[in-house]
Amino acid sequence: MSGALRILRAGPLATIQDRGRPGMLRYGIGASGAMVKGAFAAAGGLLERRGSAGIEFTTTGLDFAVDCDLQAGFCGGAFRLTVNGEARNWDAAHRLEAGAVVRIAPGGWGNYGYLRLDREIATTPLLGSRSTNSVVGLGGFEGRALLAGDRLPLGEAGEEAGTECAAPAAPDDRPVRVLWGLHADLFPSVLRSRFVSTPFEISKRLDRMGVRLDNGGVFPQDRILSLVSDAVVAGDIQILGDGTPIVLMRDHQPTGGYPRIATIITADLDRFAQMRPGTFVRFEPVTLDRALAAGKGAL
Amino acid sequence: MDESLPLPTIMPLGDRALLIRFGTTLTDGANRAAIALARRLEAAVPVGVEEIDPNLISVLLRYDPAKIEPQRLAGEVRLMASAAADGREFEARRHTIKVRFGGEDGPDLDAVAAMLGLTVGDFLEAHNVRPLRVLTTGFAPGFVYCGFHPPALVLPRRSEVRGRVPPGTILFAAGQTAITSTPIPTGWHVIGRTDFSNFDATAMPPTRLREGDDVQFAEAGA
């Protein structure tokens, strides 16, 4: 197998992603990987064979053309899909013929969607992964987000897909569950109570590194804490000096020095990642046991 | 250190990792303990552990909850920390890093020496008098913190953050000297530049310096 996929239009921050490069924190490198792991896996599960990497795109979508016959899986959020101008179902696999032009246009919900193919995207893996870390400029396609005109070489057939998994549902009103974080004890109890009782608005300032929340007047602006820089995990909620909460996401720095009040549990991180700017999130602290029970089978 | 490590605090960091911390302030003892525990864990990786990540005063352990319960893992780590060491605390390789101090490569050198009440020559002599320990790699790929300088060489960071500095920049603040390996913005004082490269994404491992190693800084051409 071979061929190529040509990008005709790329929204901001369309990147090649896979399961990421875990295990590199000690070298100062975060894992990256798909922002919505469940949707990335579901897109692959739609296919008879699947390459290990795919393309993650943001709300404005992606247009591309292929120069060979292949099968492609589409999942994550809700987007409007056409192949050569004809409407096709989202959350579905489609056969594309050589020359096919695919347009993925904005749809009803979600920040991220995924395209998986029946073969590999033949960019060079770095440190065991094709994921793009666009903050560092590592991996993916020339270490950067995709642009119109990019031609992605396609490679060998992917492995036979395993079990099909359900496409994740749209985020609902349920609270996002958290564990109290590394520095929760440094926040006075009144602030912790307000953190739990206040709905926070998802701001427009979100990317693969982090999601800024509207402060909602919860955290004072004059908090100055001198903390030893320590390990960060995806889902950590840190509070900046001006009181802004930021949820650290897949391209987070490996360490951080801002106080972290809580960490979103694995089972709820995909759902949080799909919440659009302008929607509100409420946080609900749970025990580690509950987080583990909820996370059984989560990626 | 023929003795057990200080008692760590073990806490969950999310539901897929434990953070094992030796205190809340950056001390020589806490850093040594974190490095020593990481080495012990690497020598006998507990079942279910997917990643061992030593930091300034802690070790992050990422685990697979399908393979080990975090409570059990915490118990094993406590046992490992309390076991007596057999001889050397940890192996330390020695590296010499040649640095072009001052000038365009180190625009803050003169100010740093002045703030410490030293001539540039006396500062460099004090800075390079003995090897520093690689405290950890973190913040950015291949970025290493080296320490510790004596109290007479301790300065806070700059009040303003400087735009991106190139790889190989030698930074100085908070009783430490750091080396960048990728372009990053920094609030540290920029005192020099080295041709030594500590990050190669095509190699495994991708870094040459490891926590616990000794780094001897020296003036290039000297």
Q: What is the pLDDT of residues A287-297, one digit of tens each?
A: 999 999 999 87
- ipTM of this predicted complex? 0.95
Q: Residue B31: closest CA among chain A residues belongs to which residue? A: A228
pLDDT digits (tens, 9 = 90+) for B127-139: 999 999 999 999 9
The reply to whether residue A179 touches residue B65, judged by beta carbons under 8 angstroms, is no
CB contact under 8 A, A288 and B26: no
CB A43 within 8 A of CB A34: no
Residue B167 is encoded by which pair of tokens? 């790889």
Contacts of B37 in chain A (CB under 8 A): none
The proportion of chain A whose per-residue pLDDT surpasses 70, expressed as a percent, equals 98
Average pLDDT over residues B181-195: 97
Same fold, B9-82 and B94-219: no
Q: Is the pLDDT of residue B222 over 90?
A: no
pLDDT of amino acid B32: 95
In tens, the pLDDT along A87-141 reads 999 999 999 999 999 999 999 999 999 999 999 999 999 999 999 998 899 999 9
Q: What is the mean pLDDT of residues A262-288?
A: 97
| B26–A265 CB contact, under 8 Å | no
Does pLDDT of B2 surpass 70?
Answer: no
Q: Given a cut of 60, is residue B87 above it in pLDDT?
A: no
Residue spans of alpha helices (H) in chain B: 28-43, 70-82, 109-115, 120-127
Average of pLDDT values for B213-222? 93
Q: Which residues of A touch B13 (CB under 8 A)?
A: 181-182, 231, 233, 236, 263
Min CA distance, A72 vs chain B (Å)?
A: 30
Q: How many CB contacts within 8 angstroms connect chain A with chain B? A: 119
Q: Percent helix, strand, coil in chain B (nearest 5)? A: 25, 30, 45
A-chain residues near B51 (CB < 8 A): 22-23, 25-26
Q: Which of B13, B55, B33 is nearest to B143 (CA)?
A: B55
Task: List A280's β-bridge partners, or say none.
Answer: A201
B9-82: in CATH 3.40.1160.10: no
**Interchain pair B14, A264: CB under 8 A:** yes
Rounded (10°) angle between helices A37-45 and A266-273: 80
- The pLDDT assigned to B66 comes to 96
Q: How confident is the model at residue A56, as a pLDDT?
A: 98
Q: Calculate how close chain B gets to A102, using CA atoms only, in Å.
A: 34
> Do the Cβ atoms of A114 and A165 come closer than 8 Å?
no
B19/A230 Cβ within 8 A? yes
Nearest CA in chain A to B68: A292
Q: Is the pLDDT of residue B31 over 60?
A: yes
A62-66, A144-148, A295-299, range with the lowest pLDDT: A295-299
Q: Structural domains in chain A?
A: 4-160 (no CATH), 176-294 (2.40.100.10)
Backbone torsions φ then ψ of B151, nearest 5 degrees: -55, -30
Per-residue exposure over B161-200, b if at least 16 CB sit within 10 Å of its own CB, e if not: ebeebebbbbbbbbbbbbbbbbebebebbbbbbbebebbe
CATH level 2 (architecture), domain B94-219: Beta Barrel (2.40)
Q: Which residues of A touch B66 (CB under 8 A)?
A: 296
> What pLDDT score does A222 carry?
67
Preferred mutation among B9, B13, B15 to probe A, highest tally of A CBs within 10 A:
B15
- Delimit the domains of chain B by residue range: 9-82, 94-219
Q: Strands A176-180, A283-285: parallel, antiparallel or unpaired by DSSP?
A: parallel
Give A214's contacts (C-beta < 8 A, 6+ positions apart): A200, A201, A202, A203
DSSP tag of A67: S
- Residue A279: per-residue pLDDT: 96
Cβ–Cβ < 8 Å for B211, B136: yes
Chain B contact present for A15, CB below 8 A:
no
Mean pLDDT of A232-249: 95
Closest by Cβ to B15, choosing from A227, A254, A292: A292
Looking at residue B5, its pLDDT comes to 82
Using CB atoms, which residue from A126, A228, A288 is nearest to B56? A228
A60 CB within 8 Å of a chain B CB:
no
Residue A250, token pair as written in the block: 């897949």
Q: Residue A54 — very low, low, confident or very high, per pLDDT cuts 50/70/90?
A: very high
Put simply, the answer to whether B202 touches A126 (Cβ < 8 Å) is yes
pLDDT for the residue B1: 45
CA–CA–CA angle A69, A70, A73 (5° rounding)? 150
Mean pLDDT of B76-91: 80
Which among B52, B57, B205 has the least Cβ separation from residue A228?
B57
Chain A positions touching B141 (Cβ under 8 A) are: 27-29, 136, 138
Distance from CA of A3 to the nearest CA of B (A): 25
Q: How confident is the model at residue B18 (pLDDT cuts 50, 70, 90)?
A: very high
Through-space distance between the first and last CA atoms of chain B, rounded to whole angstroms: 36
| Least confident window among A217-221, A232-236, B165-169 | A217-221
Query: What is the residue-averaged pLDDT of chain B?
Result: 94
Model confidence at B6, in pLDDT bands (50, 70, 90)?
confident
CA distance A253 to chain B (A): 6
Q: Residues A227-249: what's their mean pLDDT?
A: 95
Mean pLDDT of chain A: 95
